[in-house]
Structure 1
């Protein structure tokens, strides 16, 4: 009798289990990602989860094996990491995104980057709506967000004049910034090291940053000095903090670094200044690329700012002015010294391809001219891109480990950072040096970046968020570009979804342009 009762009870329990299983709502999805090592960017470790994608959104996150999903395509991520697509807060990719090349931004997709920011260094477009419309019509390989550039706004209002803005000019600039924010810009970028941004005083930037703050935007800055070119590295940090305090705006420090022998070791003091400000309530973040060399144009690296005022004709005229020769030579010599000497300046892109891959010192020796005369002659011929080997490993490591520093590329032609920054950071600082965990790397490349920049619904694997998802092989996620061949694609990303569309399938790019404009 007892056995019969036990049998009836067992059958009843089985029936309950079956009924509860049947009561689970069945989800119809486009994709179901199973068996992966999932980093949602919200936990400090991986989880055993399955991810469902419906249209452009993540529509379900389940414990592995517990989903009730009928998917058009199941992606098996066994032995793979599943994470949010990376967000690069500092790129120079508008030219590629506006091109007709179906591969546009493939160099970022193969790094795991699904969203890029443009308009950095004060060079952002003034017409945010017009730029966004062109991008959408053209179709783009990654998502893109835009910053409105202080330098561009200033140049539109007052040209490249080496003077402070009048009240009328400032009012006009404020209107342009407000318009850009209304059209979806993340915030204002400045390039206070570059012309014409370098001609602005602190008060001008504060007044424009206040406009941005009204729209809950950010202030992103290439600081006035990262070395000893003018006010000094630490003073430039202080100026940036002052702007943020007065404007009550979030401060984002672009490609944070201690540039040049004069300021090596100052990362410790810089970090202290930033953390003291944070403790007082100033909201501050920064980004960093994982290389010891920066990249810029030769004239920006070594020419005094006063020489570059007004037009290019005026610039060349000053270079040819015999009355200015002694002053020019002295200041250029000092700027080259700050960057570690002519042997530390590697030509990476120039109209004369024979000079690419040579240092300024080597070119000078071959031409039998002085280093300064060689540099002036090159600049007169056109834009010369250089890699400037000017950072110490100690400072790079120190900034890398700060919880408020995120991953970026600042990608430019001639420098491997454009093709390889994210895998370079993973291989060098997670795998080799073990300064970061895999989780920290992913969080610094996705969730934190989105949060600092004010990008909503991206950077996390969560139901309702945009389905920007990468599935990558941790053992083979690596940078292939270097300074001898800067434009080799990275490897290791097996699948990529951008807004729910598969754009990389089993390591193969599908020629799909599925990016969108991401407004604040």
Structure 2
């Protein structure tokens, strides 16, 4: 009996000794930050798990359930909160803020959980990527930023605003600009074929330029030539994008996918079939979407005929005041107003005239005893006016929302709440209230999937050795505060946030750090 007891004690001693040796030999991770007890959504479209996460300098250096091997300068208790990758917004117009001295923190995006923005969309991105990178880096930026080179920009450099097809020499010059931009680090090539001067280009021109971006592994991102019935028609414009992607051998991406205007309501189903068929045929076609029924742009872009805007702003103004051209301009403007749902559907969101701001075109026209199309001419002659156009059906929005190839975006512009609230609004409306998406699907469409589409490496997923772009969110308080009456109110719910390992949000307040980098 004594021998058995002695043997038992010896065995326990040996096991204890082995355990102690294992612990002493376990590698200690000396981290800057340890996030404990949070419900972690990795970014992949899978169920969350309770994990601890450690940050060493700018990377994630530990993800696991047992963080006993981690020592940290600061420990954050994330119990009751969710932990997500930093969100990526693939369609913004944030360059003016990022280049400024007082808004370069990009706070309207940080408070939505967005840690990376892409700029240069709609064909407007500069081809001088190297200079832009230097300017942004020296200025300091609050979010990471990826850059696209724009078709409209390079076309304007070569041809101005001329309403004409490019010749071979001009195409060669534009191709050289795109190649230079891609060599300097552009993520891809964007176009805005609805806008001047992009709409003056034929499909062949765009294909030739997209081929250049394809050689560097870039993406082709496009505001379609027509999202309604303004020129070639919505479905034909979508076919054009698919053709460009096929002929240029490039991944194609539809900017802010929608069916815009009463004439094309219901065509989302046909659009989805076109994209699904292209994907089955081996093309990589994707899209992004903002969660609002109203689009936003300048009034002139929304309803004035494109031929009126050719050449220069002086030419534009001359045509608007040309009495011989006026009947034609009024007739086409009237039809464009109808296409967007009528004058009651056009809300003036940006104007120096207080009597116009916050009112519909119909109300303004009635108060001035004018027809809406004549009121538009009078208004545009006075200033550049922004308008929210309530021109989408909820059914179409829903149909696009649930597609696995559609990701979250804002298309953030002044005077529209989408700039301050798109991501929390998508969560609130489509996850919490309507349950069209799960929380994990929303996060996937806001992080990992977007990183995959735009070939952004080591971001968008909470994973060992990835960059530490992380949100810690109180999901009950993750809410949009902006609306069309108060478009620039910051969203709430992001409690802590890290960009490249630096804390940018602490207890729901901006830390003051400019932690972003140019991708």
Structure-1-length-normalised TM-score = 0.98
1:398 paired with 2:391, answer: no
Q: Per-residue CA shift, 1:423-475, capped at 9, x if unaligned?
A: 00001101111111111110100011011011111101111111110100111
1:382 paired with 2:383, answer: yes
1:260/1:391 contact within 8 Å kept: yes
Paired with 1:123 and 1:362, the residues of 2 have a C-alpha distance of 33
1:134 counterpart residue number: 135
1:102/1:512 contact within 8 Å kept: no
Q: Per-residue CA shift, 1:139-186, capped at 9, x if unaligned?
A: 011111110010010000000000000100000000000000001001
Matches within 5 A, 1:157-306: 157-306=158-307
Q: Which deviates the most, 180-189 or 12-21?
A: 12-21
Matches within 5 A, 1:364-383: 364-383=365-384
1:447 paired with 2:448, answer: yes
Superposed displacement of residue 66, structure 1: 3.7
Superposed displacement of residue 103, structure 1: 5.9
Q: Which deviates the most, 6-15 or 282-291?
A: 6-15
2:104/2:140 contact within 8 Å kept: no
**Which ranges in structure 2 are unaligned for 5 or more consecutive residues?**
none
Paired with 2:493 and 2:165, the residues of 1 have a C-alpha distance of 50
Give the secondary structure class of the aligned counterpart of 2:465.
Answer: coil
Paired with 1:442 and 1:470, the residues of 2 have a C-alpha distance of 11
2:45/2:441 contact within 8 Å kept: no
Superposed displacement of residue 329, structure 1: 1.2
Matches within 5 A, 1:422-501: 422-501=423-502
**Which ranges in structure 1 are unaligned for 5 or more consecutive residues?**
none
Paired with 2:88 and 2:463, the residues of 1 have a C-alpha distance of 16
Give the secondary structure class of the aligned counterpart of 1:211.
Answer: helix
1:50/1:67 contact within 8 Å kept: no
1:115 counterpart residue number: 116
Paired with 1:508 and 1:379, the residues of 2 have a C-alpha distance of 40
Give the secondary structure class of the aligned counterpart of 1:348.
Answer: strand
Superposed displacement of residue 15, structure 1: 2.0
Superposed displacement of residue 16, structure 1: 1.8
1:32 counterpart residue number: 34
1:41 paired with 2:43, answer: yes
2:350 counterpart residue number: 349
Paired with 1:66 and 1:117, the residues of 2 have a C-alpha distance of 35
1:328 counterpart residue number: 329
2:19 counterpart residue number: 17
1:6 paired with 2:27, answer: no
2:40/2:84 contact within 8 Å kept: yes
1:103/1:511 contact within 8 Å kept: no
Paired with 2:363 and 2:351, the residues of 1 have a C-alpha distance of 15
1:409 counterpart residue number: 410
Superposed displacement of residue 125, structure 1: 1.0
2:97/2:103 contact within 8 Å kept: no
Paired with 2:160 and 2:103, the residues of 1 have a C-alpha distance of 36
Paired with 1:25 and 1:426, the residues of 2 have a C-alpha distance of 40
Q: Per-residue CA shift, 1:186-230, capped at 9, x if unaligned?
A: 111000000000000000000000000000000000000000001
Superposed displacement of residue 368, structure 1: 1.5
Give the secondary structure class of the aligned counterpart of 1:221.
Answer: strand
Q: Per-residue CA shift, 1:207-256, capped at 9, x if unaligned?
A: 00000000000000000000000111111110000000000000010000
Superposed displacement of residue 43, structure 1: 5.1
Give the secondary structure class of the aligned counterpart of 1:380.
Answer: helix
Q: Does the C-alpha gap of structure 1 residues 439 and 282 become closer, same or farther in structure 2, counting only changes over 3 Å?
A: same
2:451/2:459 contact within 8 Å kept: yes
Q: Per-residue CA shift, 1:289-320, capped at 9, x if unaligned?
A: 00000000000000111010001111111111
Q: Per-residue CA shift, 1:100-119, capped at 9, x if unaligned?
A: 01563100000000000000
Paired with 1:150 and 1:43, the residues of 2 have a C-alpha distance of 34
Paired with 1:169 and 1:104, the residues of 2 have a C-alpha distance of 39
2:89/2:446 contact within 8 Å kept: yes
2:61 counterpart residue number: 59
Q: Per-residue CA shift, 1:470-498, capped at 9, x if unaligned?
A: 10011110000011110000000000101
Superposed displacement of residue 370, structure 1: 1.4
Give the secondary structure class of the aligned counterpart of 1:59.
Answer: strand
Q: Per-residue CA shift, 1:58-113, capped at 9, x if unaligned?
A: 111122x3441111111111111101000000000100000001563100000000
Paired with 1:419 and 1:149, the residues of 2 have a C-alpha distance of 24
1:102/1:511 contact within 8 Å kept: no
Q: Which deviates the most, 364-373 or 79-88?
A: 364-373
Paired with 2:45 and 2:234, the residues of 1 have a C-alpha distance of 35
1:503/1:512 contact within 8 Å kept: yes
Q: Per-residue CA shift, 1:375-424, capped at 9, x if unaligned?
A: 01111112100000000000000100000000000000000000000000
Give the secondary structure class of the aligned counterpart of 2:122.
Answer: coil
Give the secondary structure class of the aligned counterpart of 1:28.
Answer: strand
Superposed displacement of residue 3, structure 1: 2.4
Give the secondary structure class of the aligned counterpart of 1:90.
Answer: coil
1:50 paired with 2:48, answer: no
CA RMSD, aligned part only?
0.9
1:102/1:513 contact within 8 Å kept: no
Superposed displacement of residue 323, structure 1: 1.0
Paired with 2:381 and 2:26, the residues of 1 have a C-alpha distance of 71
